[in-house]
């Protein structure tokens, strides 16, 4: 039986890995998959030795607080994999956790596939040397990534992004509004403050205060706030209570992020994969992010791109407004979101840019990724 070890470190990795498992199973129906993952992976037949939430922390300060637990899990996982070697190891994102692991597995003759290129194009570009030593093959989601590895003679395949495959090109606004029992004419704002508890710590109150100011300008508007866990929803509810905003017309959703983005007129989105999802769903947006001051100081020193939002990076043009750290105030966000909600030419131009990016990223990702991995299993 072919044995495939995998590690996915957060919700986006869980989704990517689940689709890859399903694609691999079409070629290897009897293969078994195990390691660190989430519910989507488990639904695809994955055996989770640890849940992916254990690795889902962001920012230097947050990682340091969980350092001992995370490194302990990594050492235990390495010992298990070396004791009973898998046929291949697939690391799904989470480079700070996975590259250490991959380097040690590769030395023991285990092929290592890194699915989702680390953001060497955004910051810490020196990692490419470490990547070359640790991985047998990189699966890149974005077209500008492959040439960076080819220059260093690191095996790489551009596979596109699975969200582009899963998302229809046409607008889903009408269907999403019907599903959420919303009028087709009411103004709707989507609020996506992040998927991690560490993100909500810095952004829950910012998003609530922004909604309060938007409500003053658009008293008939509806706000949709989707969450992937009870913990993050609770953090947002506490922020509503602290800012005395319990009477705001905010619908808290469990999941349904795609419906919220598809249904909205404008979205306020925390920087990350959600910005790409918003673009693919053709949701005009404003991007924001806050983190601990120390993490922000370090990030600013090491980043290369003038933008943090994936749509801007992919387009190489800052067409989506970004408000980061000190610039991320509720006044600035509410003003920009409100102006975008009533500026149809700007909204239409943003949507046309999203359509171009969507076409570029639609590559049949899971099938391409599986095709790149299969030769390592056959050898």
Question: What percent of the chain stands above pLDDT 90?
Answer: 69
Q: CATH number, domain at 86? A: 3.40.50.2000
Indicate if 268 and 318 belong to the same structural domain. yes
More confident: 230 or 138 = 138
Residue 18 maps to a domain: yes
Report the pLDDT averaged over residues 206-228: 96
In a domain, 167, yes or no: no
How many domains is the chain partitioned into structurally? 2
For 15-26, letters b (16+ CB in 10 Å) and e give bbbbbbbebbee
pLDDT at 3 over 80: yes
Judge whether 284 lies within some domain: yes
What angle (nearest 5°) sits at the alpha carbon of residue 371, between those of residues 369 and 373? 70
Q: What is the length of the chain?
A: 379
Give the pair of three-digit tokens for residue 324: 């980061």
**Which whole number is the average pLDDT over 61-74?**
66
For 169-233, strand residue ranges (E) read 188-192, 222-227
Same domain for 106 and 240? no
Helix (H, G, I), strand (E, B) or coil at 288: strand
Domain identity same for 333 and 191: yes
User: 84-99 pLDDT, tens per residue?
Assistant: 999 999 999 888 889 9
d(CA 371, CA 143): 18
Does the residue 165 lie in any domain? Answer: no
First to last CA, the chain: 15
- Find tokens 């250490």 and name the residue: 100
Of the segments 38-52, 100-114, 189-203, 286-300, which one has the largest average pLDDT value?
Answer: 100-114
Q: Is residue 168 part of a domain?
A: no
Does 372 share its domain with 299?
A: no
- Is 287 inside a domain boundary? yes
Find out whether 323 and 203 touch, Cβ atoms under 8 Å.
no
Q: What's the confidence (pLDDT) of residue 379?
A: 53
145 and 13 both lie in a single domain: yes
Residues 68 and 100 in one domain: yes
User: What is the per-residue pLDDT for 252?
Assistant: 95
Residues 153 and 216 in one domain: no
- Same domain, residue pair 187 and 334: yes
Question: What local confidence, expressed as pLDDT, does residue 102 receive?
Answer: 96
CA distance linking residue 248 with residue 51, whole number of Å: 35
Are residues 270 and 178 part of one domain?
Answer: yes
Does 108 lie in the same domain as 193? no
Same domain, 356 and 372: no
CA-nearest of 173, 30, 259, 5 to 251 is 259
Regarding whether 256 and 210 lie in a shared domain, the answer is yes
Residue 59 is predicted with a pLDDT of 47
Write b or e for each residue in 49-85: b if 16 or more Cβ atoms lie within 10 A of its Cβ, otherwise e: eeebbebbbbbebbbeeeeeebeebbeebeeebeeee
Strand segments (E) across the chain: 3-8, 32-37, 46-51, 88-92, 112-115, 137-140, 156-158, 188-192, 222-227, 250-254, 266-270, 285-289, 322-324
pTM score of the predicted model: 0.78
Cα(190)–Cα(182) distance, integer angstroms: 13
Q: Is residue 228 part of a domain?
A: yes
Percent of the chain at pLDDT above 70? 91
Q: Which domain holds residue 112?
A: 3-160+363-378
Residue 118 within any structural domain of the chain:
yes
Biggest CA-to-CA distance, the chain: 64
């Amino acid at each position: 039986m072919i044995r495939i070890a995998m590690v996915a470190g957060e919700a986006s990795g869980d989704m990517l890995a689940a689709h890859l498992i399903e694609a691999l199973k079409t070629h290897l129906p009897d293969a078994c998959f195990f390691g660190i993952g989430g519910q989507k992976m488990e639904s695809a037949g994955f055996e989770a030795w640890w849940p992916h939430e254990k690795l889902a922390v962001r920012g230097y300060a947050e990682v340091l607080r969980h350092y001992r637990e995370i490194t302990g899990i990594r050492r235990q996982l390495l010992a298990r994999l070396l004791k009973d070697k898998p046929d291949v190891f697939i690391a799904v994102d989470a480079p700070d956790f996975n590259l250490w692991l991959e380097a040690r597995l590769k030395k023991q003759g285990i092929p290592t596939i890194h699915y989702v290129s680390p953001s060497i194009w955004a910051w810490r570009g020196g990692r490419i040397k470490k990547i070359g030593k640790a991985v047998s093959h990189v699966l890149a989601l974005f077209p500008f990534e492959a040439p960076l590895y080819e220059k260093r003679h690191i095996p790489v395949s551009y596979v596109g992004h699975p969200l582009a495959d899963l998302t229809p090109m046409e607008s889903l606004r009408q269907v999403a509004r019907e599903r959420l029992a919303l009028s087709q004419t009411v103004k709707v704002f989507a609020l996506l403050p992040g998927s991690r508890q560490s993100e909500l710590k810095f952004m829950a109150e910012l998003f609530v205060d922004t909604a309060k100011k938007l409500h003053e300008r658009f008293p008939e508007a509806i706000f949709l706030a989707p969450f992937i866990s009870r913990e993050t929803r609770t953090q947002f509810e506490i922020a509503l209570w602290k800012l005395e905003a319990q009477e705001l017309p905010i619908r808290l959703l469990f999941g349904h992020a795609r419906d919220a983005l598809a249904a909205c007129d404008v979205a306020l989105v925390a920087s990350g994969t959600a910005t790409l999802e918003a673009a693919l769903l053709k949701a005009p947006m404003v991007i924001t992010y806050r983190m601990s001051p120390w993490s922000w100081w370090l990030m600013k020193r090491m980043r290369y791109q003038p933008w943090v939002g994936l749509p801007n990076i992919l387009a190489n043009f800052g067409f989506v407004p970004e408000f980061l750290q000190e610039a991320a105030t509720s006044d600035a966000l509410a003003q920009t979101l409100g102006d975008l909600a009533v500026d149809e030419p700007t909204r239409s131009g943003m949507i046309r840019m999203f359509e171009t990016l969507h076409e570029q990223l639609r590559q049949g990702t899971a099938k391409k990724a599986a095709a790149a991995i299969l030769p390592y299993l056959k050898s």
